[in-house]
Amino acid sequence: MVFSKTSRTWPPGVELSSSSSSPLGAVKLYGYLPDSRGAAQGSRRRLGRYALVYSLRGRCEYWDELNGHRVVRAGEAFFLFPEIAHRYGGTEPGGWSELFLVFEGPVFDLWRERGLLDPRRSFLTLEPVSVWRKRIEQCAGPAGRAGQAAVVRQVVALQALIADALEAQESHADTPPAWIAAACAALSEPGALQIRLPSLARSLGVSFETFRKRFTAVMGVSPGAWRAARMVDAAARLLADPALSGKEIADRLGFSDEFHFSRRFHELSGMTPTDFRRRLQNGSNR
């Protein structure tokens, strides 16, 4: 999205919100792009203003020079800051839809100065989409030149939207995201030890750094440690069945052979499968 202030040649669905300003600032552009390309992949853009971008459908790949890469899904939003280089764009054949507001003004600079708007914490989860889409659209206001009072009301409405969005994010942070349960399920499957954790994070739509930190905070252990514990639990249950051979257990757990299973079980539990079975047998004979 690169818009020319002079030519006013913008894509369909993008409108000039206000050509006026106020002592507080103004919302300058708003738009709905049903099949957005975002900022061109491979480019680095500095917008020169603030923006709030809300994902309505699909997923987009986002990057900025402070936070690195992240996948943004429907129901998630992000702020853009005037001087921060960034790029983003849809990643799925079915397209990605966005709703956005571009804004500026001293009041938003003050919010940033006080840490309420922070470029290192610029992502929000805003659900349900139908509710937040309506809230964002209500901040657009009348297109074209408007009186200063109308512009002020528009800026006040945007401040209320941002305050509610930040409050919703604080509440959301206390609830484990749905991908945590999906990650636990994947890491409990046979063959989970062969899963590359960065690949799993990408498939769940989060960066590996977010995946590692959030998983550890919610589950109390790292994804790798949690996966290892689940493997030991599953192996212990299978080893308790004397009818199963070591090779059969290795196959069920997704190992290529019994040797690799035995070595890995020893690394994680401190004893070999044979020793573990012997202890089980001795315990049952007491």
For the segment 169-179, what is each residue's pLDDT rounded down to a tens digit? 876 655 677 78
| pLDDT score, position 3 | 42
Tell me if the pTM is above 0.85. Answer: no
Q: Give the chain's domains with CATH numbers.
A: 14-173 (2.60.120.280), 178-284 (1.10.10.60)
- For the stretch 38-74, pLDDT in tens is 555 557 889 999 999 999 988 888 989 988 888 888 8
Going by the DSSP 8-state scheme, the letter that residue 40 receives in this structure is P
d(CA 268, CA 260): 12
- For the stretch 129-168, pLDDT in tens is 888 999 998 888 665 556 778 888 889 999 999 999 988 8
Please enumerate, as own/partner, the contacts of 63-66 that have beta carbons within 8 Å and a separation of 24 or more: 63/87, 63/88, 64/119, 64/122, 66/119, 66/120
| pLDDT score, position 2 | 38
Distances (CA, A) of 56 to 44, 231, 275: 23, 38, 55
Helix (H) or strand (E) holding 188: helix 178-188
